[in-house]
Structures are given as structure tokens and as C-alpha cells.
Structure 1
Amino acid sequence: MSLLARQRQELILEQVRERGAVRVSDLAERFGVSDMTVRRDLDVLARRRLVDKVHGGATAVGPVTATSTDEPGFAVKSGRQQAEKQAIAEAAARFVEPGTAIGLSAGTTTWALARRITDVADLTVVTNSMAVAEVLHAARRPDRTVVLTGGIRTPSEALVGPVAVAALRSLNLDVVFLGVHGMSAATGFTTPNLMESETDRALVEAGQRLVVVADSTKWGTAGISTIAELAEADVLVTDDGLDADARAVLEGEVDRLVVAPARG
């Protein structure tokens, strides 16, 4: 897989945080690049004080713990729970009907969903994700309209802020598909980015129905800002890694819980 330097650096940082240290030779083999390229990536991360360079590699800068404002980049998140996201996307695609106007939030699960609906006829898609828009534009269907909100780009490749919010508040959509950072009984559906939360709320309000797409690892995770309460979801599509207690809570809150069996 060919990666941009920024994407590769995000993945390197993720590995440093998970393992505590990385070796140049291992990273070069993993990404199929030269040792010199990896060293340049580590130089960039070190200048940003995200890693400490050591002989032959790099180490984490002090103890690293997850917080409600942690926001991994798109490249990092796209490599996580791939089988689960594909299963969720396949199940969620059944809620996309020809001739409708839908909203797709930014995120790697909605990006997977976009790739599943390229053959749906006469579809209008509104999104604040350039990655989602690129997938749908690439299908080159004359009966497809893609509306990109514009706005300020976040680390997770969402377009957010007043421009995005203003665009969404002028629209009426049949169904909105929302990807989230976390979900819990106490906090509802959440994001670690305050501006993204406001934009996502505007997207939710534009839709007649809300379908949340979230893999099972999102349960029990809380971002700093709530997008919607659990009960606001007409449908929640998740995977079969969700434990029995979580299923019971969600079945009591959302109108319909869809559990997709993950493959691979």
C-alpha cells in the first residue's frame, strides 16, 4: 500500500504509542520504504515532540494514555477493525434506497459504507468528508449528485466549522449515516473534536432518520462532546464483538439494533 508521508507518520506514531518503541528496519520493511525515508519521518515526529529518537529507532515521549480529546488520524483509524467495518458497511448499505438524499458523516466506517453504495441509482449524497466524496465521484455515475460541505479540516479528515454547519442547516435529507468516536449509556454518541460535534449535530438534524454505524470497540469510549443521545438513533449498526450487557443497553435505547457478523 502506497502511503503519503503524513499518513505513514501517523501510523508510525500509533505504533510507538502502542509498543513504546520502534526500530527503523522494522518500519522500513512494514511500509516498503528505505531506512532513510523512515528516519526522515522520525525526524518530523521528533521535531513535533511526539517521539524521542534513539539509535536505530524511536521511543514514546513519556507515558501515553487515551483521553477524551485523543483524535487519531484517518490513516490510523482506517487500519483498525477492518473486518468489522466491512461487515457494518454491508449491513448499513441495505438502508440506502435509490432516489433518496442521504448524509454521510466523516469517518472510516462511513468511508467503507460509501464504497458499498457506488451502484445505488439516482442518489444524492451530502458529506463533510473529502474521502467519502472522492469514492463516490470516482464511480462516475451521471445520476449521482455529491455535495461536499466545505469547512476546516480536522486530523480525522472531517470538514467542520461554521461553513459546514451553515451548508447542512439549509438541507433536508431522508437518512443520515453517522460514524462516531465513542458510545456509552452515560454520554451517548461522542466525538473528541468540539467543532466536529457541532457539525455532526447539524447533519443529524438535517435527516428524517438517523443510522449510526459504529464497531463494537466504540462501546464504553467517551469523546469530549456528545453528538446525540443513544435514543436519537433510529438504527444502530454494529458488529458481533459487542458483549451481551452492551447489547441489552442498546436494545433498550435505539429503535433498532443491527448486529453484523464480522468476517476474517
Structure 2
Amino acid sequence: MSSDADPGRGGRSRAARQQRIVDHVLGAGSASAAELVELTGVSLMTVHRDVDELVRRGLVRKYRGGVSAQPTSVFESHSDYRRTVRRAEKNAIADAALAFVEPGSSIMLDDSTSALALAERLADVGPLTVVTNYLPALELLKGLPEIRLLALGGDYSRTHDSFGGVGCLEAVEAVSVDAAFVSTSSMTGSMTFHQEQDIVVVKRRMLEVADRCVLLMDSSKAPRRALHHLRPLSAFDDLVVDAGMTAALLEEMGEHTRVTVAEVGR
């Protein structure tokens, strides 16, 4: 068993270990403490500390003798959870969406991990103005010399790792952008949805201030519904999806907007 201590990389190694625990529990559905000790190579006490931290962050659920992952709508909204799932599909979608980003333009990114994947690809586009309320995107883009970065403030949500509320809405209303890139929790062939009303309000306002609206959706989100309507699919200029969508669904979507299908692994 390796030592729990890592003076040179303590914070990073702990974060990597906790991410490994999350990935394992999400994949298996549950895991015992003994399994996690074997998985990570640290002591039982350290595993318990890691699990307690992950429970506090809402990423896993603890029961006597083990840990489980049983996603609910609130769980699925958690930024850390969203960053662990459908990575290959989101990367493929972001690669395809990059073609819609024009050098010298202004773009808005919502607090979705699909938009974050796009943000990861902006370094070589050229001069851009990027507006976002998503803290991970702000952290990612703040050091890029050719990016003029505008932060949308407001009330900070630890669950979403982003800013919302009245302050965010007022900040969105103060700008106009060439394109907005957004995602949401679910869609059918004609409508988009989200389970949280406060998130819907911010996303709607983002779409209203953009000349071009691009929807980024991985195939796990369709066909599904949630409590609140976001916008009809026809309100978006473009939809970028991965190849996991069924042919029938793609045909229906194509009746309402332009659809780009991103091949995973290309």
C-alpha cells in the first residue's frame, strides 16, 4: 500500500484519487470501503475522509459499509458529476461546434460541461470575446492572451459551480453577442427542457442576447423530458449532437433546425 502523504502533489493527488473513486462508483453503481482501499492504495481512514468529502459535495451517497451512486435530478445537476460523464461525446460535439466560432467574434457560454469542452478548444481560434457565468470556464480562459473575458456575476451556486440570480440576468442583459453556445438537461425531437426553473431563466436570457444560438446535446439527453420547457428546438439556429442519436430522432430534429452530427473518436 502506498503512503497517504504526498508532500509535492498533495492537493492534486487527493483530487485525482477522489475523481477515481467517483468514476469507479458511477461505473459500478456501488462499492465497499474495502474495494476503495484496494482501488486507491491508501488507508481505510483516508478513504473514509475522501468519501465524506464526496458526500458533502453531493457526488456519492454513503451507506453502512459502502458508497453508492444513484443519480437524481439534483445529483445530475452537480457540476462535478456532469464533468465525469459522456466525456468522449462532449469532446466530439465541441470539436464540431468549434467550426461555428469565428475569430474576432463575441460568444457566450452557459454553465454546461458541453460548453466547457468548447472553451477548452478556444486557445488557437484567434482573438475572441467570451462571456460566461461558469466558474470552471472562467478559470480555464483567464490566462489566454487572445481572449477578452467577461464574467457574468450574481449568486454563486456550489452545485452548478456558476453564477445566477438577478445579478446574472442583469449582466446578461447588458451585452449582445454574436453566438451563444448552450446545453440543457433533456430534449425531444422538437423541445428542450431543464428541471430547474432558475437555470431555465438564465439560459433563456442568454439566447435572447445572441445573434446565433447553438445547442450542444449528447445523445444521453434524448428523447427525455424534464419539468420546465426551455425553448422549442426551432428557436436554435444549429444543433450539434453525437452519433448516438437514432435516425428517427435526427430526422425529426432536422425538421426544426440545422443538425450537425459529431462522430465520436474522429
Q: Distance in 1 between matches of 2:247 and 2:254?
A: 10
Structure 2 counterpart of 1:172: 176
Name the CA shift for 1:11/1:194 in 2 (closer, same or farther; >3 Å): farther
Question: Does the alignment pair 1:226 with 2:235?
Answer: no
Instruction: Work out the number of aligned pairs and report it.
Output: 251
Question: Residue 91 of structure 2 is aligned with which of 66, 70, 86?
Answer: 86
Question: Does the alignment pair 1:133 with 2:142?
Answer: no
Name the CA shift for 1:99/1:43 in 2 (closer, same or farther; >3 Å): closer
Question: Residue 63 of structure 2 is aligned with which of 20, 29, 52?
Answer: 52
Question: Residue 50 of structure 2 is aligned with which of 20, 33, 41?
Answer: 41
Name the amino acid aligned to 2:265.
R
Structure 1 counterpart of 2:192: 189
- Aligned to 2:142, the other structure's residue is in SS state helix
Deviation at 1:194, TM superposition (A): 1.7
Name the amino acid aligned to 1:167.
A
Question: Residue 100 of structure 1 is aligned with which of 96, 100, 105?
Answer: 105
Q: TM-score, normalised by structure 1?
A: 0.83
Asked if structure 2 preserves the Cα contact closer than 8 Å seen for 1:72 and 1:156, the reply is: yes
Structure 1 counterpart of 2:118: 113
Structure 2, unmatched stretches of 5+, are: 1-11
Question: Does the alignment pair 1:22 with 2:23?
Answer: no
Asked if structure 2 preserves the Cα contact closer than 8 Å seen for 1:101 and 1:175, the reply is: yes
Structure 2 counterpart of 1:214: 217
Larger deviation: 169-178 or 213-222?
213-222
Structure 1 counterpart of 2:244: 241
Larger deviation: 194-203 or 216-225?
216-225
Name the CA shift for 1:223/1:29 in 2 (closer, same or farther; >3 Å): farther
Structure 2 counterpart of 1:8: 18
Structure 1, unmatched stretches of 5+, are: none
Asked if structure 1 preserves the Cα contact closer than 8 Å seen for 2:61 and 2:67, the reply is: no
Name the amino acid aligned to 1:27.
L
Question: Residue 161 of structure 2 is aligned with which of 149, 157, 164?
Answer: 157
Asked if structure 1 preserves the Cα contact closer than 8 Å seen for 2:21 and 2:36, the reply is: no
Name the amino acid aligned to 1:131.
P
Structure 1 counterpart of 2:3: none
Q: Distance in 2 between matches of 1:243 and 1:181?
A: 18
- Aligned to 2:120, the other structure's residue is in SS state helix
Deviation at 1:83, TM superposition (A): 1.3
Deviation at 1:206, TM superposition (A): 0.8
- Aligned to 2:98, the other structure's residue is in SS state helix
Name the CA shift for 1:125/1:224 in 2 (closer, same or farther; >3 Å): same
Structure 2 counterpart of 1:201: 204
Deviations 1:125-144 (A, max 9, x none): 100101111111132x1x42
Name the CA shift for 1:246/1:233 in 2 (closer, same or farther; >3 Å): same
Deviation at 1:243, TM superposition (A): 0.7
Q: Distance in 1 between matches of 2:180 and 2:31?
A: 40
Q: Distance in 2 between matches of 1:33 and 1:166?
A: 48
Q: Distance in 2 between matches of 1:145 and 1:21?
A: 43
Deviations 1:70-129 (A, max 9, x none): 534222222211111111111101100011111011111111100111122221010010
Q: TM-score, normalised by structure 2?
A: 0.83
Structure 1 counterpart of 2:265: 263
Q: Distance in 1 between matches of 2:192 and 2:20?
A: 25
- Aligned to 2:212, the other structure's residue is in SS state strand
